[in-house]
Chains A and B, each alone.
Chain A
Amino acid sequence: MQWETVIGLEVHVQLATKTKIFSGASTAFGAEPNTQACAIDLALPGTLPVANEQAFRYATMFGLAVNAEIGKRSVFERKNYFYPDLPKGYQTTQLAEPIVGPGFVDLELEGGRTKRVRIHHAHLEEDAGKSLHEDFAGMSGIDLNRAGTPLIEVVTEPDMRNAEEAVAFAKKLHSIVTSLEICDGEMSQGSMRFDVNISVRPKGQEKLGTRTETKNLNSFKFMEEAIALEVERQIDVLEDGGKIKQETRLYNGDTKKARSMRSKEDSNDYRYFPCPDLLPVIIDDEYIESVRKQMPELPEAKRARFVEQYGLSDYDAGQITMDKFAAAYFEAAATFFKNTASQTGETKLIANWIMADLGAYLNRTEQRIDQSPVTPELLSGLVVRIKDGTLSSKIAKQVFEAITNGEGNADTIIETKGLKQVSDTGALEKIIDDILAANTAQVEGYRAAAEDKRAKMLGFFVGQAMKASKGQANPQALNELLVKKLNG
């Protein structure tokens, strides 16, 4: 049987506010346990919540970015359940009246395919604390620093059909929230966490299969792996005549295994009701417009601008603007380039270097582009020397490596290593003359060959000449001179 996978996502996005959603305690990451948990976060008796304006501003930005209707009236409700990381015994969240209504995101997939994923809604809520299971003599330790950190939970429609689409959506969402600067995007710190709802059904069937929810995936890689694993498991179960049990599952990225969650299985009755300590939040068009004006450039707008302003191809612009740090890096490098090279356009080469050599280097060394030792200025300096013919692209790679080793900027390295490209006609002529003299048979063969065969034979002489120049010959000048001399 042919199976179709159906995927919906619930994404928890931690908002980059300075303080909690309902208290003035700091949200900074990495503090000592419980040093950022104030009386409100600890749910001490008699304490009361007051909502953070910035959380609403950020949620509104997000809504505008995903083409959604903004909830002009939003209401916090209490979701009741007991868990040690939930001090009040209820989570303050939104249910019936969320801040962000239905919207959508358009994805671009391999091969130029596009896909629209609908957003069901996104709501504001508070994060829980953390249970640490290290050995406290059979006890768990509870750290409530994270408790009360504002989240938006983005809930999609079940519009994705495979892991590629789900991951593309996740990456797009990451790119949107980081570009808006409403989330730091640090997945390893839990700033974005994905719950994946997965079901399979026979191809052509309309009714959805029973779904499972794999919770708390915090990397794109784990998400891809977890989806593949769960889809395979469900198909196996169904093909063996079994039934899928609706359950919550946990994926372990280290062991590459998933299991059913033991807790949270007692079909919780959350007893939602409007939180009487908080009043409805009312925002108006004026507020929404003021937020819109304040919004940083979104990836799609930036992409269009990069095509227009820097002459990048749409694809390259799309790649570069996917990551706001890469986009910023590119713009900085392009500015240096223009200032020093006093030429316009031709920044495509910078984009290429960012996507290829720099990207590979950062990947290999696990560094972030905004903290790259090869600064935009250094990369721009290198590209300037490629453009002005000082460096061949082959030698440029050598120079790049030297830059990554901290040996200075391109000019210094070219100087100290004597890597300057030979464009001087006299010097090149000397090299060519020597080669032609040493290879008379090949010269005659070339001259006897038909015009259309010659181009291929030219390669031999270019190779010899390059070797003789230790790679420093300017390929264009060399080519021209060679052809001239061979044609005699």
Chain B
Amino acid sequence: MHQLTIAELVKGLLNKDFSSVEVTQHYLDRIARLDKVYNSYITATPALALAQAAVADKRLAAGNAPALCGVPIAHKDIFCTIGVRTSCGSKMLDNFIAPYNATIVDNYLDSGVVMLGKTNMDEFAMGSSNETSYYGPVKNPWAIDCVPGGSSGGSAAAVAAHLAPAATASDTGGSIRQPAAHCGLTGIKPTYGRVSRWGMIAFASSLDQAGILSRTAEDAAILLNDMASYDTKDSTSVERDVPDYTTTLNDSLKGLRIGVPKEYFGEGLNPETAAHVEAAIKVYESLGATIHSISLPHTGLSVPAYYVIAPAECSANLSRMDGVRYGHRCENPKDLNDLYMRSRSEGFGDEVKRRILVGAYALSAGYYDAYYSKAQKVRRLIKQDFVDAFQNVDVIIGPTSPSPAFKFGAKSKDPVSMYLEDIYTIATNLAGLPGLSIPCGFVENKPVGLQLIGNFFAEARLLNAAHQFQQATNFHQQTAPGIE
């Protein structure tokens, strides 16, 4: 049953081949039995899941249930869930039980989707390897001594290990696409503003966007239909109809103009990864697409700009964690300053502290213009590169990540080498564009990700292109070794 895609589960539930309770129980059993190895969940919620599944079964029996009714998925622990701990991978929020749901959680509840639990992640989504989680690292099901990518590594590992048919995730600089690449999954980060940020704990507010990790593009399309919405509670949510992303999946790619940025194939890209990406481009050519070499000249500046903007925003976003109204509070503070200092120092891990300090530096008097303001100007140049490119092409294609999943500890000593993991993904966050990663091959038995970047609100086009690739290839159907 855990081999079934979301599309197949939807069909099976509708045909009464199995009940939601049965599917849910099956996954809960797997989580209980197997997740000790992967550590992909921070909190599994069996009782709640079964209760939700029972309700879903009633709705299904009554007829006219929504499409996703009874389908179980996992939520990244960055999304607030009433009555269930939302830790964001941090000791700071280890005791935090949100009094409200994230909008996307509510959207899925309305659709009758069952929550299996909350998945592991880098602390406050700051990381590319899932090594910064307070709850310990997540193992990559494809190579147990390697990282699953981050920050949505728990969601990715859970789906890759078939401990959930799909999972929600969030992407600030590549946190959906990079784990998708490392775990052989489909991961989509929609356009900024397409999915509500209400109830998603903020890392960098102008970059954060929720999305999906699934096994197929078709599943991502089905799930995005219900995740995306206009939300009056989020000022940055865009008032725009959500199309049915499944209806265009089978559109022909004949005449699709694909741009290949030369900057995405330079120094630092693993040659075998490059070969798989180039082969994937050939597949697209065979599907009728035309290939165009393009330039995104400011690509190299996206990592530096990002590591000013994201820390600056996070330094303010995390100031609310002060031990006063919720979250970790130190024992017996001797005065107000001690309360702040100790609560925050005990509650935050090293990488979070480092980014807060960098952010404070970039915003401090005397450095604002040189760092923050400069980075925001470069951000405009980066966005303009894409705007110019999309005058001539429909989709941009390149690698998701410079190399396959690396071993634990390989990059944690040098923050910059870790930051360069996201060199191909960060620019889309700065520009606000949608991006997607699909598997396109293997290097040393580890998956390689192909990244597709679309124009603003062109999620349907991306999903269509990804689905067509998956009709022509079978990389996405491979299962990690040892997964029953």
Given A89-B319, A277-B236, A278-B235, does the pair A46, B199 have CB atoms closer than 8 Å?
A: yes
Q: Verify A46–B200 contact, CB threshold 8 A.
A: yes
Binds B, one of A76-84, A159-167, A305-313, A454-462: A76-84
Question: Which residues of A55-107 are within 8 A (CB) of B?
Answer: 78, 80, 82, 84, 87-90
Grouping DSSP codes into helix (H, G, I), strand (E, B) and loop, the A interface class, with mixed when no group exceeds half, is loop
State which size class the interface on B falls in.
Answer: 35 or more
Q: Verify B324–A142 contact, CB threshold 8 A.
A: yes
Distance between Cα atoms of A272 and B363 in the complex (Å):
7
Grouping DSSP codes into helix (H, G, I), strand (E, B) and loop, the B interface class, with mixed when no group exceeds half, is loop
CB distance from A26 to the nearest CB of B (A): 18
Closest to B365 in A: A269
Given A80-B363, A276-B206, A279-B236, does the pair A48, B197 have CB atoms closer than 8 Å?
A: yes
List residues of chain A with CB within 8 A of the CB of B86. Answer: 45-46
Which listed residue, B201, B312, B319, touches A88 by the CB 8 Å rule? B319
Distance between Cα atoms of A43 and B324 in the complex (Å):
11
Q: Verify B363–A89 contact, CB threshold 8 A.
A: no
Binds A, one of B91-99, B249-257, B435-443, B476-484: B91-99
CB distance from B86 to the nearest CB of A (A): 7
Q: Verify A46–B202 contact, CB threshold 8 A.
A: yes
The yes or no answer to A50 lying at the interface (CB within 8 A) is: yes
List residues of chain A with CB within 8 A of the CB of B370. Answer: none
Q: Verify B320–A46 contact, CB threshold 8 A.
A: no
CB distance from B43 to the nearest CB of A (A): 16
List residues of chain A with CB within 8 A of the CB of B315. Answer: 80, 271
The yes or no answer to A353 lying at the interface (CB within 8 A) is: no
CB distance from B237 to the nearest CB of A (A): 9
Distance between Cα atoms of A424 and B97 in the complex (Å):
87
The yes or no answer to B102 lying at the interface (CB within 8 A) is: yes
The yes or no answer to A273 lying at the interface (CB within 8 A) is: yes
The yes or no answer to A51 lying at the interface (CB within 8 A) is: yes
Q: Verify B363–A46 contact, CB threshold 8 A.
A: no
B172-214 interface bits toward A, Cβ cutoff 8 Å, 1 = contact, 0 = none: 0000000000000000000000000111111011100000000
Given A39-B99, A269-B365, does the pair A45, B235 have CB atoms closer than 8 Å?
A: no
Q: Verify B325–A87 contact, CB threshold 8 A.
A: yes
CB distance from B11 to the nearest CB of A (A): 34
Given A45-B93, A49-B235, A51-B235, does the pair A82, B319 have CB atoms closer than 8 Å?
A: yes
The yes or no answer to B57 lying at the interface (CB within 8 A) is: no
List residues of chain B with CB within 8 A of the CB of A271. Answer: 315-316, 360, 363-365, 368
Distance between Cα atoms of A269 and B88 in the complex (Å):
29
Question: Which residues of B112-169 are within 8 A (CB) of A?
Answer: none
The yes or no answer to A486 lying at the interface (CB within 8 A) is: no
List residues of chain A with CB within 8 A of the CB of B422. Answer: none
Question: Which residues of B363-406 are within 8 A (CB) of A?
Answer: 363-365, 368, 372
The yes or no answer to A44 lying at the interface (CB within 8 A) is: yes
Distance between Cα atoms of A49 and B317 in the complex (Å):
13
Given A50-B232, A89-B316, does the pair A276, B205 have CB atoms closer than 8 Å?
A: yes
Q: Verify B233–A50 contact, CB threshold 8 A.
A: yes
Q: Verify B364–A269 contact, CB threshold 8 A.
A: yes
List residues of chain A with CB within 8 A of the CB of B340. Answer: 82
Distance between Cα atoms of A279 and B206 in the complex (Å):
10
Given A82-B322, A87-B320, does the pair A44, B235 have CB atoms closer than 8 Å?
A: no
Q: Verify A45–B80 contact, CB threshold 8 A.
A: yes
Given A269-B365, A277-B235, A278-B235, does the pair A43, B320 have CB atoms closer than 8 Å?
A: yes
Q: Verify A89–B320 contact, CB threshold 8 A.
A: yes
The yes or no answer to B29 lying at the interface (CB within 8 A) is: no
CB distance from A75 to the nearest CB of B (A): 13
The yes or no answer to A47 lying at the interface (CB within 8 A) is: yes
The yes or no answer to A42 lying at the interface (CB within 8 A) is: yes
List residues of chain A with CB within 8 A of the CB of B93. Answer: 45
Which listed residue, A42, A48, A82, A276, touches B198 by the CB 8 Å rule? A48
Closest to A80 in B: B316
Q: Verify A273–B312 contact, CB threshold 8 A.
A: yes
Distance between Cα atoms of A110 and B130 in the complex (Å):
72
Q: Verify B322–A273 contact, CB threshold 8 A.
A: no
The yes or no answer to B100 lying at the interface (CB within 8 A) is: yes
CB distance from A359 to the nearest CB of B (A): 47
Number of A residues near B (Cβ < 8 Å) is 28
Distance between Cα atoms of A278 and B236 in the complex (Å):
7
The yes or no answer to B350 lying at the interface (CB within 8 A) is: no
List residues of chain A with CB within 8 A of the CB of B204. Answer: 276
CB distance from B361 to the nearest CB of A (A): 9
Q: Verify A45–B96 contact, CB threshold 8 A.
A: yes
Distance between Cα atoms of A144 and B295 in the complex (Å):
52
Closest to B193 in A: A279
CB distance from B348 to the nearest CB of A (A): 13
List residues of chain B with CB within 8 A of the CB of A279. Answer: 235-236
CB distance from A37 to the nearest CB of B (A): 9
Distance between Cα atoms of A47 and B206 in the complex (Å):
14
Which listed residue, A39, A49, A78, touches B100 by the CB 8 Å rule? A39
Distance between Cα atoms of A82 and B198 in the complex (Å):
24
List residues of chain B with CB within 8 A of the CB of A42. Answer: 325
CB distance from B432 to the nearest CB of A (A): 12
Question: Which residues of A10-41 are within 8 A (CB) of B?
Answer: 39
Distance between Cα atoms of A49 and B372 in the complex (Å):
23
Closest to B80 in A: A46
CB distance from A136 to the nearest CB of B (A): 13
The yes or no answer to B18 lying at the interface (CB within 8 A) is: no
Closest to A24 in B: B233
List residues of chain B with CB within 8 A of the CB of A89. Answer: 316, 318-320, 322
Distance between Cα atoms of A78 and B317 in the complex (Å):
10
List residues of chain A with CB within 8 A of the CB of B199. Answer: 46-47
CB distance from A5 to the nearest CB of B (A): 30
B312-345 interface bits toward A, Cβ cutoff 8 Å, 1 = contact, 0 = none: 1101101111101110000000001000100000
Question: Which residues of A128-170 are within 8 A (CB) of B?
Answer: 142
Q: Verify B201–A46 contact, CB threshold 8 A.
A: yes
Distance between Cα atoms of A292 and B98 in the complex (Å):
43
Which listed residue, A78, A84, A87, A273, touches B368 by the CB 8 Å rule? A273
Question: Which residues of A268-288 are within 8 A (CB) of B?
Answer: 269, 271-273, 276-279
A256-277 interface bits toward B, Cβ cutoff 8 Å, 1 = contact, 0 = none: 0000000000000101110011
Distance between Cα atoms of A386 and B362 in the complex (Å):
75
Q: Verify A46–B198 contact, CB threshold 8 A.
A: yes
The yes or no answer to B239 lying at the interface (CB within 8 A) is: no
Closest to B340 in A: A82
The yes or no answer to B234 lying at the interface (CB within 8 A) is: yes
Question: Which residues of A151-192 are within 8 A (CB) of B?
Answer: none
List residues of chain A with CB within 8 A of the CB of B319. Answer: 80, 82, 88-90
Q: Verify B336–A84 contact, CB threshold 8 A.
A: yes
List residues of chain A with CB within 8 A of the CB of B99. Answer: 39, 44
Closest to B102 in A: A46
Distance between Cα atoms of A80 and B360 in the complex (Å):
9
Which listed residue, B233, B312, B364, touches A48 by the CB 8 Å rule? B233
List residues of chain A with CB within 8 A of the CB of B324. Answer: 84, 87, 142
Given A44-B98, A46-B200, A46-B202, does the pair A273, B325 have CB atoms closer than 8 Å?
A: no
Which listed residue, A45, A48, A88, touches B88 by the CB 8 Å rule? A45
Q: Verify B313–A47 contact, CB threshold 8 A.
A: no
Distance between Cα atoms of A101 and B28 in the complex (Å):
60
- Known interface pairs A39-B99, A142-B324; 7 further A-B residue pairs with C-beta atoms within 8 A, sorted by A's residue number: A42-B325, A45-B320, A46-B100, A46-B197, A50-B234, A272-B368, A276-B313
Q: Show 28 A/B contacts (Cβ-Cβ < 8 Å), sorted by A.
A: A39-B99, A42-B325, A44-B100, A44-B320, A44-B326, A45-B93, A45-B98, A48-B197, A48-B198, A48-B233, A50-B232, A50-B234, A50-B235, A78-B316, A80-B363, A84-B322, A84-B324, A87-B320, A87-B324, A87-B325, A88-B320, A271-B315, A271-B316, A272-B368, A273-B363, A273-B372, A276-B236, A279-B235
4 nearest CB pairs, A to B? A89-B319, A271-B363, A276-B205, A276-B206
